[in-house]
DNA sequence: AAAAATTCTTGATAAATATCAAGAGAAGTG
DNA sequence: CACTTCTCTTGATATTTATCAAGAATTTTT
């Protein structure tokens, strides 16, 4: 499974063979069956996850028991609760598998170790951070200023492959609308 | 004016006197009168800004001429268009002064230079990045899953001092609601 | 393959928020 | 100080989206 991550790295940075071995030595692989959890609300997130295979989501549950999907992750995406990881505080999110998955885990301290020993790795981590921030800010813009239909269209455009893999009600909660509204929007769009 | 930034830095990192001089040598100070622009839509953002004094906002204008405030910045906050800065692409945002302001500017290349020469500076930049990402993700959660009233209450809690400094319609657009709705929400809250 | 559980759609109604319009207050300008 | 411009509030109405309820379609389990 390491080859997936290796390919990802080769694509982004250029490092020595010894460094790949160092990286591999701290990777932990975790298989998840559908519905199995990678992180439970209340637990402290201790590892960053890189998705080798499968499909996961991150979500919170409000007081009324309603789930709010905040993030999807598929092959070559990272997933974790950065806030919990950074501050060692209990997470307010759950992460579980939508499809059977294999996730590569690296502990917080090993991420720091690798960042120190491999400058290019550190730069990559920072680049990812910057990209995430840009994407997240883009998403805020859409969330605040667009109608439900526009948000769904944007989602389709940004993540065409996810739409078919994610159950509709999760997409709806990602967009901040109810499943019923999403169903009506889809009907409207298809009739155009 | 540099002393404002120096205090900020002293609070966050520990660096040598020579480093402060290096930093100061690349700082540019810009005074802005109310309504004056720091960045215009269409221009490439070339500098990161640190607010020494005053109050600014970042906003975009949609096809109908409606302004969407995406960010406020006051003393000790950073402001820039990260996306434009990172990719050297035209910005889709405007940044202007809500109150007379003094902004300390550091060019992209000098940020990179400082990051290289002063490791603690680089770490600080990354820490800020992480914090911004956390804050931005928090904001998405609120935007998608809360009512207008909850969003306003959260804004009050997070930025009590900004509420009095920012015109209401800018707060409204920051929250993704109309000024009229904000006005009604304020009335409701005060009658409780 | 049948049964059970989950997911999706549709309709009727309710609630939240936007839009349009008008006027009151406040602040900036000559 | 009077005038203009901006900002904020309030009311009436329209639109969007949520909620509740039921049934159809799909998937999972037995």
> What is the pLDDT at residue A192?
67
Contact residues for B167 (Cβ-Cβ < 8 A; gap 6+): B98
> What is the pLDDT at residue A177?
95
Place of tokens 């209990």: A90
Fold of the domain built from segment(s) B2-118: Jelly Rolls (2.60.120)
> What is the pLDDT at residue B192?
67
Q: Which nucleotide is nearest to B179 (CA to C1')?
A: D8
Are the Cβ atoms of B145 and A82 closer than 8 angstroms?
no
Rounded percentage of chain A residues whose pLDDT exceeds 70: 99
Residue A133: closest C-alpha in chain B: B133
Is a pLDDT exceeding 90 seen at residue A13? Answer: yes
pLDDT in tens, chain B (192 residues): 899 999 999 999 999 999 999 999 999 999 999 899 999 999 999 999 999 999 999 999 887 788 899 999 999 999 999 999 999 999 999 999 999 999 999 999 999 999 999 999 999 999 999 999 999 998 998 888 899 999 999 999 999 989 889 999 999 999 999 999 999 999 999 876
- The span from the CA of B81 to the CA of B40, in Å, is 11
Q: Where are the domains of chain A?
A: 2-117
Contacts made by residues A129-132, CB under 8 angstroms, sequence distance 24+:
A129/B126, A129/B129, A129/B130, A129/B133, A130/B82, A130/B86, A130/B129, A132/B133
Place of tokens 């790795």: A121
Interface test with B, best of A140, A147, A148 (most B CBs within 10 A): A140
> What is the pLDDT at residue A1?
86
Residues A141-154 have a mean pLDDT of: 91
- Could you tell me the distance in Å between the CA of residue A137 and the C1' of nucleotide D22? 40
Is a pLDDT exceeding 90 seen at residue A133? Answer: yes
Q: List for chain B the helix, strand, coil content (%; round to 5).
A: 50, 25, 20
Residues A47-64 have a mean pLDDT of: 92
Helix crossing, B119-145 with B108-117: angle to 10°?
120
Are the CB atoms for A99 and A165 separated by under 8 Å?
A: yes
- The span from the CA of B82 to the CA of B71, in Å, is 12
Pairing of strands B47-61, B78-79: antiparallel
- The span from the CA of A120 to the CA of A126, in Å, is 10
Confidence band of A9 (pLDDT split at 50, 70, 90): very high
Number of residues assigned to chain B: 192
- CATH architecture for segment(s) A2-117: Sandwich (2.60)
Are the Cβ atoms of B136 and A134 closer than 8 angstroms?
no
Confidence band of A150 (pLDDT split at 50, 70, 90): very high
- The span from the CA of B174 to the CA of B155, in Å, is 9
């Amino acid at each position: 499974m390491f080859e997936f991550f290796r390919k990802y790295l080769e694509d982004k940075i250029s490092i020595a063979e010894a460094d790949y071995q160092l990286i591999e030595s701290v990777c932990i692989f975790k298989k998840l069956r559908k519905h199995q959890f990678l992180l439970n609300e209340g637990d402290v997130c201790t590892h960053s996850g890189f998705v080798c295979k499968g499909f996961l989501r991150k979500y919170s549950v409000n007081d009324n028991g309603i789930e709010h999907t905040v993030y999807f992750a598929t092959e070559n995406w990272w997933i974790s609760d950065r806030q919990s990881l950074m501050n060692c505080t209990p997470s307010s999110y759950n992460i579980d598998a939508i499809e059977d998955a294999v996730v590569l885990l690296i502990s917080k301290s090993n991420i720091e170790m690798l960042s120190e020993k491999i400058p290019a790795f550190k730069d990559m981590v920072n680049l990812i951070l910057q990209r995430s921030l840009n994407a997240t800010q883009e998403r805020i813009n859409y969330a605040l200023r667009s109608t439900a239909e526009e948000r769904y269209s944007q989602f389709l455009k940004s993540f065409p492959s996810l739409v078919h893999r994610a159950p509709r009600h999760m997409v709806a909660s990602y967009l901040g609308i109810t499943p019923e509204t999403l169903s009506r929007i889809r009907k409207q769009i298809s009739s155009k």
